[in-house]
Amino acid sequence: MPVLVASDLDRTLIYSAAALALTMPDARAPRLLCVEVHESKPLSYLTETAAGLLADLGDAAVFVPTTTRTRKQYQRINLPGPAPTYAICANGGHLLVDGVSDADWHARVQARLADECAPLAEIRDHLMASADPAWVRKHRVAEDLFAYLVVERELLPEDWVKELAVWAENRGWTVSLQGRKIYAVPKPLTKSAAMREVARRTGAELTLAAGDSLLDADLLLAADRSWRPGHGELADAGWAAPTITALPERGVLAGERILREFLKATRTPTP
């Protein structure tokens, strides 16, 4: 039976220049491979070693990129190895099969959101009214599924995100702060549900996952074995569970370690 590997991308496998955390002397820094260009500028990287590991993983398992990115944002990424048959975008709102969104899956997600949580328009209106233009740089809606803000972190009031989270909780939404982005996402919109659907379709009996943020928590709990890096929301909160391994590595070297763990677990699965 195939092994399914569902991994978050940003700050888990791939890293912006600001998130690399290259704390070693320059002469010992790893060689990097750019895997995303946006507006003619390099944007995301992994180490060359990680690139080789990812190519090996694509041959050994069903590798499923699993991201909160929109489809357009995901399709900018050019990962090493065989092109994944499946990819999960928009936090589970879109399940791509050979690059095309599965219409039935998307319709099921939309129906559940309509039944279980406040409408996106209400959330967006609240963000527009309560977020101070002094520290908000952009208001965005992703795939008509969720909203996010791009902010200046040094100007962001310490309690604002906590207050937003309480307000959103009562309406069936989750709030997550990741770098310069504040996400408001409907609770039923989950990476884990989409991962389970891919596992059903592929017949995978072992599922592996990795992620760094609050929006990855459900994915990590749903998998048989999971890993989180030493940075990010989950690490900052000391978040743990019996099937989840907290790694000490931070930055781009954490991505390399996660890929080694995936390959080891794929080649020697525990009974």
The pLDDT of residue 269: 61
Q: Contact at 8 Å (CB) between 171 and 143?
A: no
Q: Which ranges in 25-102 belong to alpha helices (H)?
A: 48-60, 71-74
Pairing of strands 62-65, 225-228: unpaired
Task: Characterize 3-34 residue by residue with b for buried, 16 or more Cβ atoms within 10 angstroms of its Cβ, and e for exposed.
Answer: bbbbbbbbbbbbbeeebbbeeeeeeeebebbe
From CA 41, how far away is CA 37, in angstroms rounded?
A: 5
The pLDDT of residue 268: 82
pLDDT along the chain (271 residues), means of 10: 95 96 94 97 98 96 97 97 96 98 98 97 97 96 97 94 96 92 96 98 96 95 98 94 97 98 87 50
Q: Which amino acid is at 192?
A: S
